[in-house]
Amino acid sequence: MPTLTNKRILLGITGGIAAYKCAELSRLFTRAGAEVRVVMTRAAQEFVTPLTMQALTGNRVLMDLLDFEAEAAMGHIELARWADLVLVAPASADFLARTAHGRADDLLSTLILATSAPIAIAPAMNQGMWSDPGTRQNLDEVRGRGYHVFGPAEGDQACGDVGPGRMVEPADLFASCAELFSGEPLAGRHLLITGGPTREAIDPVRFLSNHSSGKMAYALAAEAAAAGARVTLISGPVSLPTPDRVTRIDVTSAEDMLAATMERIADADAFIGVAAVADYRPANQTAGKIKKDKASMAIDLVRNPDIISEVAGLNPRPLVVGFAAETEDVTANGREKLERKQLDLLFANNATETFNSDEVAATAISAEGEVEIPRARKEAVARKMLELIAERLPVSVEAPA
Residues found near ligand PMT in the complex (CB under 6 A): 194, 212-216, 254, 273-277, 279, 304, 306-308, 322-325, 337, 349, 354-356
Smallest distance from ligand PMT to CB 238, Å? 7
Smallest distance from ligand PMT to CB 214, Å? 5
Q: Which is nearer to ligand PMT, 206 or 337 (CB)?
A: 337
Smallest distance from ligand PMT to CB 210, Å? 8
Smallest distance from ligand PMT to CB 304, Å? 5
DSSP 8-state assignment for residue 83: -
Residue nearest to ligand PMT (CB): 273
Yes or no: say if 337 and 349 are a contact pair by the CB < 8 Å rule.
Answer: no
Q: Which is nearer to ligand PMT, 148 or 264 (CB)?
A: 264
Q: Which of 55, 159, 162, 399 is catalytic?
A: 159
Give the per-residue SS3 of 142-211. HHHCCCEECCCEEEECCCCCEEEEECCCHHHHHHHHHHHCCCCCCCCCEEEEEECECCEECCCCCEECCC
Rounded Cα–Cα distance for residues 100 and 95 (Å) = 8
Yes or no: say if 353 and 325 are a contact pair by the CB < 8 Å rule.
Answer: no
159 included as an active-site residue? yes
Q: Of 233, 238, 242, 243, nearest to 274 (Cα)?
A: 233
Buried b (16+ CB within 10 A) or exposed e, 339-372: eebebbbbbbbbbeebbebeebbbbbbbeeeebe
Q: Which is nearer to ligand PMT, 174 or 347 (CB)?
A: 347
Q: Which is nearer to ligand PMT, 239 or 396 (CB)?
A: 239
Q: Which is nearer to ligand PMT, 168 or 308 (CB)?
A: 308
Q: Which residues are catalytic?
A: 159
